[in-house]
């Protein structure tokens, strides 16, 4: 069932990966430290690197900061990307602490995408299994491709975003490619304000 879902979403995930690769690449020239960006996005379609935006890609502009969140926008030709971004505050196991987890809430109006929730883990994930997002008493199934994760059921994005806005913390429970359990924890302080700022920038 999961493998079938992944096959049907390959095209969508590739488009998302391109956007995530771009975001990760431009973060090094924005206000976040360069090391927050993935060195090498795993999906083959994502070719941007952390060092600098690829030719023809726009530089990310910081729109607003609140709590642990920041809003950015970027223009690439006629395509505009706006996103809220936060970094994981804690990570288990300890040997993964040298790479940071990132949470994106992205809008790409040119593709009809609004508030897509995705994660860049910065380590290889086990594919073909479910990972989990936990917000209070609510749980959401995630699927992985390379180092990135998305909701297994995209129709749950509005419900998850609502839970994120109401919650105080988020835990991402994953499994590495080697089969080891992992845990990232995020603060949700400031998310409502920053997601709205990113939404408004891409209206």
Cβ count within 10 A of residue 52: 14
Please give the CATH superfamily to which domain 2-201 belongs.
Invasion associated locus B (IalB) protein (2.60.40.1880)
Question: What is the distance of C-alpha 156 from the center of its chain?
Answer: 16
Q: Indicate the length of the chain as a whole number.
A: 203
Residue 71: closest CA among 115, 21, 40, 41: 115
- Mean pLDDT (the chain) is 78
What was the pLDDT predicted at 24?
44
Domain ranges of the chain: 2-201
Q: Residue 16 is encoded by which pair of tokens?
A: 């998302």
Residue 4 to residue 10: CA distance in whole angstroms? 10
Residue 98 to residue 100: CA distance in whole angstroms? 7
Cβ count within 10 A of residue 13: 22
Place of tokens 């491709």: 145
CB environment 109-126: b (16+ within 10 A), e (fewer)? eeeebbbbbbbbbbbebb
Q: Which run of H or E residues covers position 144? A: strand 138-145
Residue 84 to residue 98: CA distance in whole angstroms? 23
**Average pLDDT score over residue span 137-143:** 97
- Hey, is 90 helix, strand or coil? strand
Least confident of 37-41, 58-62, 104-108, 196-200: 37-41
Q: Residue 113 is encoded by which pair of tokens?
A: 């995408």
71-123 pLDDT, tens digit per residue, is 999 988 788 999 999 999 999 997 877 788 999 999 999 999 999 999 999 99
- Hey, is 62 helix, strand or coil? strand
The answer, yes or no, to whether residue 3 has pLDDT greater than 80, is no
**Phi, psi of 20, rounded to the nearest 5 degrees:** -65, -40
Instruction: Calculate the alpha carbon distances from 37 to 10, 21, 101, 187 in Å.
Output: 23, 9, 9, 19
Contact 30, 64 (CB under 8 A): no
> pTM value?
0.74
């Amino acid at each position: 069932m999961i493998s079938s879902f992944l096959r049907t979403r390959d095209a969508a995930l590739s488009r998302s990966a391109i956007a995530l690769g771009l975001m990760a690449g431009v973060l090094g020239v924005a206000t976040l430290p360069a090391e927050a960006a993935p060195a090498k996005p795993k999906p083959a379609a994502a070719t941007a690197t952390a060092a600098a935006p690829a030719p023809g890609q726009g530089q990310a502009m910081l729109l607003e900061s609140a709590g642990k969140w920041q809003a950015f926008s970027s223009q690439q030709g006629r395509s505009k990307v706006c996103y809220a971004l936060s970094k994981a505050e804690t990570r288990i196991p300890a040997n993964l602490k040298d790479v940071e987890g990132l949470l994106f809430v992205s809008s790409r109006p040119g593709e009809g995408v609004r508030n897509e929730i995705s994660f860049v883990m910065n380590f290889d994930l086990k594919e073909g299994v479910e990972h989990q997002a936990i917000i209070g008493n609510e749980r959401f199934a995630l699927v992985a491709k390379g180092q990135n994760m998305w909701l297994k059921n995209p129709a749950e994005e509005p419900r998850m975003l609502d839970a994120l806005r109401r919650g105080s913390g988020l835990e991402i429970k994953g499994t590495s490619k080697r089969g080891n359990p992992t845990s990232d924890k995020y603060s949700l302080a400031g998310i409502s304000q920053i997601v709205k700022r990113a939404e408004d920038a891409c209206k």
